[in-house]
Structure 1
Amino acid sequence: MTETTPPTTSVQPNRVVIERLGHVLLIGFNRPEKRNAADLALLEQLSLAYGELDRDPDLRVGLVHAIGDHFTAGLDLADVGPRLGATGLDMVPEGGVNPWQVDGHSVSKPVVMAVQGTCLTLGIELILASDVAVAAESTVFGQIEVSRGILPFGGATIRLPRAIGWGNAMRWLLTGDMFDAREALRIGLVQEIVPDGTQFERALALAERIAAQAPLAVQATLANARVAVRAGDAAAEAQLQPELARLAVTKDARIGMESFLTRVPAVFEGR
């Protein structure tokens, strides 16, 4: 498999680089000299990138990756620690969306992750808040907050037990131990392991595959699954028929039917 180098073009300098590739928004951590540890600037710029993904109807999928050898070493406690106030950490500027989606607002588009090297704390929580994750085979993971005297505050205590089971979650949450990509795949934290250096290429292929589907249908599917998780099966069931009726009269539904009848690949418009 040919190695693909993530793009480094940015519309804003410093901690996060973004680039549009068709209907995919590439969002890259760009602090490699610090193993992409997240200071407040990185957190704010990441929030703004998620806000752009959420708002722009031309964007259908986000792909989060990292420049350098490591995905993230977690929080830069030296920078973030002094900023913690009585109500926690204020990290979402106007126009942003909390990437960890623990404030009641979820990004409406799917997010694919490509991780490598070290993936600690907020990196794992970002995977849990996303939809599909690809890991390089040498990636190591750790939810190490208990070793620093704090608790995970990006959703791991909520999502990890649900995603991988109570015992598996407590094994890693309560010990702060590190684990490898094979364990991450076994417990379902990531969906694929690929050779080192190919994680971005594989994640991009998945993101583009999602982006090629009918975007309104993708967003409705994602939203209904989230309702089931947050509000229960009955709440999600109540929305199924109304959502089906709404989607059935869209132009994309007509395009999808024509594709089925003619066997010509569909080119969806998001209408």
Structure 2
Amino acid sequence: MSVSLHNLTLRSLLVLTIVLGLNGCSVRYDKNGKVLFKTDLASVLGNEVGQFVLADGSKGALRELNGRYSLKWSNLMIERPLEGVSWARIINQYHIEGHTLLLLKVATPSCPAQYRLIDLQNTSSQEWAFTGICDVGPEITASADKLQLNFTSGNRIEQFNWQHGEVYHSRLPIQKQKTALKEKAKSTRKPKSQSPEKSTKQVKRAPAKAVDPLPPKVAQPELDNSLPTEIYSPTKTRQTSLEVRP
């Protein structure tokens, strides 16, 4: 059976329209929860600048279109725009307790190098922007139930702990390393001179003076050495999605 060129062109256009319609659509929710239809041009015309794998095995991507960045993941075509950034890259990803944590390095108008943490789980997402820290990379520690980010800022450490879907913020003083002090003391200590023969000359010792008795101890109040820990609120960004059913 022969197919005319006209019919073949129409079929090709129809398939292309369906593909563009599925990949280039999303639904936006406003502040009142109202559903607004939205076209996702980043999936069709944008550039994919990063990929990631979610805890359930599905894939996602970091996209860019005309200087605007967004994340899109899962078969539900969920999208989360990254607001206030002119450049973004995925530094690393972690899977903890069913959550997918993405550590992003971004550029903003106020700082050329800042970091953000994105928490993706199923259809929900949260984002934490560490806006008070500029051009400082974190020391990262990941465990089975926690992700810790330590940023050194001046004479303190800004610590952020992600755990069970929340981020907790603490400020810790930088303590001097005892090992460094020991090494410094060793380097300044003069070596003992070795004499070939021991001196047999006796040295007269002065009589020991009587030591005054120590004053009685005074009870000291117990110090509160606990460090303040506060919940670090995520940024409020509208998430979009379109459920695709077979």
Per the normalisation by structure 2, the TM-score is: 0.23
Please say which structure displays the higher CA radius of gyration: 2
* Greater strand content: 2
* Greater helix content: 1
Per the normalisation by structure 1, the TM-score is: 0.21
